[in-house]
Copies of this chain bind each other. A is one copy, B any other.
């Protein structure tokens, strides 16, 4: 065994991107607009003002390709950015593959994932506009933790509704959110009308991100000092995450490699978009030609089995209608351990890009994912969160394909978070208690039968 050459490709603090990248103006056609559910007309900034600060609304609808990152946000990014890009030498050896595997690791952040990349600017802009409290939903808990941390920096209160399945599986998340000064409730809760309605229909529901969003939106809409923050799905959230891909571009450049395949897991889409959009920009400009692949769980196969249609972002139907790949807003996924991937819809921007044929998608079962996660931990020394094990399992598949063909495929993947707070899931895996849920075809068809009607536009 000899030295492998470079393992971590690092950047200096001065190389943190100073602009977020907005892919919208670079696309061959613009994404369909969100619509007002009452009028069928595109929603304007004023429609969103009760929920979001104007600075974020302007980013949401921006057609500028780049937006400057405020100095105050860059200053906080320095707590964990630039994040390392790793060459997975040991995993490659274990797989005996000619592929070169790189992973961009976002687990070094305060929350342990990519989520603070957008939580910090969201809290910053809200604080600038005098907001006193932010409400939000969280699945696995990464987003709620990130927002609690960001709110602590700007002296804003933070109130989090966590999907009950995850709340019960991951008790340490509650303590993390409280350590950062936030408050947390399991969702559905009796604190909101949306929550009470769901509980009345099914008191044993594991909850869903759609339900938790309804609860957080309901509370924010009632008080002008309270606003709402979303951890994925929206354009501005995806844009904030592009710091991941911008750094990865520079880091691969430093070692002179160009990706053949880019792989990320998708729940609402922000991690995947964060890594891939800057590379997609280069691809659209004809400079590189990677395959870009989204990986989702079989239990919640939004891109691969969902319908591309206008639907609500939440379960109660309080948001604008968004054209996206959806399983139906009242679809409640089986309680898989990747709580961050249990969303009934997909980012409208990413859905549009998928429809344009610019990216691929595949769905995997969770036991294959945990198997890859354990192999990764034993070779690379990082225990991955359940969400990125989906990307790792797809990476292993790609590396084994390279082994068959003998090609030196360059694979870039997103290790969007560590699993320190998800160890109960590994416990179940080792106890042989983890099961793969079938494609929930009947449940999907049932939920899709209730897609909202889009009013005819005036």
Q: Which of A's residues lie within 8 Å of B, judged by CB?
A: 1-4, 6-8, 10, 12-13, 71-72, 74-75, 78-80, 90, 108-110, 112, 116, 149, 152-153, 171-172, 174-176, 178-181, 374, 377-378, 380-383, 418, 420-421, 423-424, 426-427, 430
Contact status A7-B175, CB under 8 Å: no
The answer to whether A175 and B374 touch (CB under 8 A), given A75-B4, A78-B8, is no
Partner of A75, one of B1, B13, B174, B383: B1
Contact status B383-A2, CB under 8 Å: no
> Which residues of chain B have C-beta atoms less than 8 A from A7's C-beta?
13, 75, 78-79
Closest to A172 in B: B423
The answer to whether A378 and B13 touch (CB under 8 A), given A3-B74, A420-B420, is no
A232 to chain B, nearest CB (A): 21
Q: How long is the Cα–Cα vector from A71 to B424 in the complex, in angstroms?
A: 36
A150 to chain B, nearest CB (A): 9
Partner of A421, one of B4, B80, B420: B420
The answer to whether A75 and B3 touch (CB under 8 A), given A176-B383, A178-B430, is yes
Q: How long is the Cα–Cα vector from A112 to B7 in the complex, in angstroms?
A: 18
Closest to A12 in B: B10
Partner of A10, one of B10, B174, B179, B383: B10
Contact status A381-B110, CB under 8 Å: yes
> Which residues of chain B have C-beta atoms less than 8 A from A149's C-beta?
378, 381
Closest to A152 in B: B378
A160 to chain B, nearest CB (A): 15
> Which residues of chain B have C-beta atoms less than 8 A from A74's C-beta?
3
> Which residues of chain B have C-beta atoms less than 8 A from A71's C-beta?
2-3
CB<8 Å pairs between A and B, sample of 24: A1-B72, A4-B75, A8-B78, A8-B79, A10-B12, A79-B90, A108-B108, A110-B377, A116-B381, A149-B378, A149-B381, A171-B423, A172-B172, A172-B420, A172-B421, A175-B423, A175-B424, A175-B426, A178-B426, A179-B374, A179-B423, A180-B377, A180-B378, A421-B423
Which one of A152, A172, A381, A382 has the greatest number of beta carbons of chain B within 10 Å? A381
Partner of A8, one of B13, B116, B152: B13
A15 to chain B, nearest CB (A): 11
> Which residues of chain B have C-beta atoms less than 8 A from A112's C-beta?
420
> Which residues of chain B have C-beta atoms less than 8 A from A110's C-beta?
377, 381-382
Contact status A377-B179, CB under 8 Å: yes
Which one of A1, A108, A109, A424 has the greatest number of beta carbons of chain B within 10 Å? A1
> Which residues of chain B have C-beta atoms less than 8 A from A179's C-beta?
374, 377-378, 383, 423, 426, 430
Q: How long is the Cα–Cα vector from A90 to B172 in the complex, in angstroms?
A: 25
> Which residues of chain B have C-beta atoms less than 8 A from A381's C-beta?
79-80, 109-110, 116, 149
Closest to A148 in B: B378
Which one of A74, A90, A181, A427 has the greatest number of beta carbons of chain B within 10 Å? A427
> Which residues of chain B have C-beta atoms less than 8 A from A90's C-beta?
79, 153
Partner of A378, one of B108, B181, B420, B421: B181
Q: How long is the Cα–Cα vector from A378 to B136 in the complex, in angstroms?
A: 19
Q: A2-B71, A179-B423, A421-B423 are in contact. List 16 more A-B contacts (CB 8 A).
A: A3-B75, A6-B13, A7-B78, A8-B78, A110-B381, A149-B378, A172-B172, A172-B421, A174-B427, A175-B426, A175-B427, A176-B383, A178-B427, A178-B430, A179-B378, A179-B383
Closest to A4 in B: B75
> Which residues of chain B have C-beta atoms less than 8 A from A377's C-beta?
110, 179-180
Q: How long is the Cα–Cα vector from A421 to B173 in the complex, in angstroms?
A: 11
Q: How long is the Cα–Cα vector from A297 to B426 in the complex, in angstroms?
A: 32
A182 to chain B, nearest CB (A): 10
Contact status A79-B380, CB under 8 Å: yes
Q: How long is the Cα–Cα vector from A381 to B81 in the complex, in angstroms?
A: 12
Q: How long is the Cα–Cα vector from A71 to B172 in the complex, in angstroms?
A: 38
